[in-house]
Structure 1
């Protein structure tokens, strides 16, 4: 995602520690203390400007959410939305998805969302894809037994890669949508990219996969 650099972004983030903790690794195993209620905890890895995660938090007040974004210039857009909404079930983490096991304890997260991730189309960059074996191991390390990943993309190549990577990792594919918007799926909340791509008539792919019990 190409963003206009916002040199003031880090100062704005530091000014709102109630929403964006300054040292997230120190909250490992204690993230529930950041929320008004102790509830199932879902994360989105790579939240972009945050439309999906903010709308999910509004639609599901019985779930706690953490938005994870590595780019400060994108994260401030999420922060602006949270400042306006002040949702008690949403926190924001400035950090790298490659280091999830440094931020979260085993089983601390109930569900992982991956939405419109960078496809990294070149084979030499495959390990950077958020559904590569390295990242799958990160998710497995923070989810409970049988924990799930929900994944959406408009990129067919990335979707096919993800189906294969998850199957080879030993995950169970619970459901697969080859054209989400033409299906009877209910409760879909769109990201900014999803709105743009679907308006162009592009197909949206979605899957729900779980780690095998006793793998």
Structure 2
């Protein structure tokens, strides 16, 4: 979940009790299913599915409270959705949603994308969803981003041939940074939108996405697939997301929505641009 540390907890929320109550939906040792998720998690008959296994496996990386994964699973019962999040609170909420939905084709996994190759074998995932990953706007934290060349290179190892990475964000700087990462990792863009809610209104949405849209945020999205692997993947892009914001005062004043974690950066850039403009006017 993006920004999970800011999740509001209801009164009397006891994490351990929630995790135990909804344990049936949680897989605590995902590495044991590496290479056999489609068969090992089979619990029903999905439309068009081969008997005894799911048609394909998809990963919702950073699943938050699980709304997206559950709705996507409801629409495609022959696909197994693995909903992964590093925050125990999100794992508890997602597991509750899965149990209450009664859907057999969703499993919740505590974990981080840094361990994706430990949990899945080569060619095991048909799609990886990156819905609103934490931007980590500072250069010193860039290595933590899921939307990066380094992670795209990891994803290559577990995607099927032609497998897709689907990325959504409310952060224009992160989106523009991701556009630099796609070619560095040898991927190609198959779909791009700067207003995904308008362009693809029927796609499943998380609670977070719906809340952002209500606040006036535009949802930006990319779908990319691996092309030929680069011989030497090298990070050459500017890592600070502040570099992907406009630097002139007029453009900065037009920003009506500052992405999460960058409100102070936008304000600082505006103040700097105002000072420079005042100095120029005083000459």
Normalised TM-score (structure 2) = 0.71
Tell me how far apart the structure 1 counterparts of residues 56 and 117 of structure 2 sit (CA, whole Å). Answer: 18
Q: Which runs of at least 4 in structure 1 moved beyond 2 Å after TM superposition?
A: 3-18, 35-38
Q: After superposition, what is the alpha-carbon deviation per residue over 1:191-211, rounded to whole angstroms, capped at 9, x for unaligned?
A: 112111111221110111000
The CA RMSD over aligned residues, in Å, is 1.9
Q: Which residue of 1 aligns with 2:90?
A: 74
Q: Which residue of 1 aligns with 2:168?
A: 152
Tell me how far apart the structure 2 counterparts of residues 160 and 190 of structure 1 sit (CA, whole Å). Answer: 22
Tell me how far apart the structure 2 counterparts of residues 21 and 213 of structure 1 sit (CA, whole Å). Answer: 34
Tell me how far apart the structure 2 counterparts of residues 214 and 122 of structure 1 sit (CA, whole Å). Answer: 28
Unmatched 5+ residue regions in structure 1?
Answer: none
Tell me how far apart the structure 2 counterparts of residues 101 and 20 of structure 1 sit (CA, whole Å). Answer: 19
Tell me how far apart the structure 1 counterparts of residues 155 and 17 of structure 2 sit (CA, whole Å). Answer: 30
Matched, 1:110 2:126: yes
Instruction: Report if the CA contact (8 A) 1:145-1:213 is conserved.
Output: no
Q: After superposition, what is the alpha-carbon deviation per residue over 1:101-149, rounded to whole angstroms, capped at 9, x for unaligned?
A: 0011111111000001111111121121111122112211111122210
Q: Which has the higher contact order (CA 8 A, sep 6+)?
A: 1
Matched, 1:35 2:42: yes
Tell me how far apart the structure 2 counterparts of residues 181 and 71 of structure 1 sit (CA, whole Å). Answer: 27
Alpha-carbon distance change, 90 to 44 in structure 1, aligned in 2, over 3 angstroms: same
Matched, 1:25 2:31: yes
**What is the total number of aligned residue pairs between the two structures?**
214
Q: Which residue of 1 aligns with 2:81?
A: 65
Matched, 1:191 2:198: no
